[in-house]
Amino acid sequence: MAVIWENSKTLIIPVGLDRHIINSKAQNFIWQILHLLRPAKLTDLHREKHSCYLRPFLVVGQEHGPTHIASINGICPSERDQFMSQSSNGGKKSGKKNIKTRLMHMGSDPDNFHGFVNTPLFRGSTILYPTLDTYLSRTQKYTYGRRGTPTISALEDSITELEGGHHTALTSSGLSACSVSLLAIVKSGGHILMTDSVYQPVRSLCERLLKRLGVEITYYDPHIGSGISELIQENTQLVYTESPGSLTFEIQDLPAICEVAKSHDIPVLVDNTWGTPLYYNPLKLGASVVIHAGTKYFSGHSDANLGSITTTESYSKIIRQTHGDMGQCPGPEDVTLCLRGIRTLSVRLERHQASALEMANWLVDRPEVASVIHPARKDHPDHALWQRDFNGSSGLFSIILHDVSDTALGAMLDGLDLFGMGASWGGYESLVIPFNPAPNRTATAWKTDGRALRFHIGLEDVEDLKNDLDAGFTRLGANS
Ligand X SMILES: Cc1ncc(COP(=O)(O)O)c(C=O)c1O
The residues annotated with a catalytic role in the active site are 146, 199, 271, 296
Q: Does 272 engage in binding with ligand X (CB under 6 A)?
A: no
Q: Does 205 engage in binding with ligand X (CB under 6 A)?
A: no
Binding segment for ligand X among 17-25, 147-155, 167-175, 363-371 (CB under 6 A)? Answer: 167-175
Binding mask 306-345 for ligand X (x = CB under 6 A): -x--------------------------------------
Q: Does 298 engage in binding with ligand X (CB under 6 A)?
A: no
Question: Is residue 103 a contact partner of residue 342, using CB atoms and an 8 Å limit?
Answer: yes
Q: Does 174 engage in binding with ligand X (CB under 6 A)?
A: yes
Q: Does 295 engage in binding with ligand X (CB under 6 A)?
A: yes
Would you say 174 or 222 has its CB closer to ligand X?
A: 174
Question: Is residue 310 a contact partner of residue 241, using CB atoms and an 8 Å limit?
Answer: no
Q: What is the chain's length?
A: 480
Q: Does 293 engage in binding with ligand X (CB under 6 A)?
A: yes
Question: Is residue 368 a contact partner of residue 332, using CB atoms and an 8 Å limit?
Answer: no
- Among 273, 310, 355, 393, contact with ligand X (rule: CB under 6 A): 273
- Among 175, 408, 411, 416, contact with ligand X (rule: CB under 6 A): 175
Would you say 45 or 175 has its CB closer to ligand X?
A: 175
Q: Does 393 engage in binding with ligand X (CB under 6 A)?
A: no
Binding mask 182-201 for ligand X (x = CB under 6 A): -----------------x--
Question: Is residue 457 a contact partner of residue 399, using CB atoms and an 8 Å limit?
Answer: no
- Dist CA 153 CA 345 (whole Å): 19
- Dist CA 452 CA 454 (whole Å): 7
Pairing of strands 236-242, 369-373: unpaired
- Dist CA 103 CA 116 (whole Å): 17
Minimum separation from the CB atom of position 329 to ligand X (A): 15
For residue 289, the cross-strand partners are 269, 311
Residues 43-72 interacting with ligand X (rule: CB under 6 A): none
Would you say 294 or 472 has its CB closer to ligand X?
A: 294
Collapsed DSSP state (helix, strand, coil) of residue 241: strand
- Among 246, 322, 328, 444, contact with ligand X (rule: CB under 6 A): 246
**Among 227, 221, 226, CA closest to 248:** 221
- Dist CA 74 CA 57 (whole Å): 16
Would you say 424 or 479 has its CB closer to ligand X?
A: 424
Question: Is residue 399 a contact partner of residue 372, using CB atoms and an 8 Å limit?
Answer: yes
When CB distances to ligand X are compared, the closest residue is 174
- Dist CA 467 CA 480 (whole Å): 20
For residue 218, the cross-strand partners are 193
- Return residues touching ligand X (CB under 6 A): 173-175, 178, 199, 242, 246, 271, 273, 293, 295, 305, 307, 424
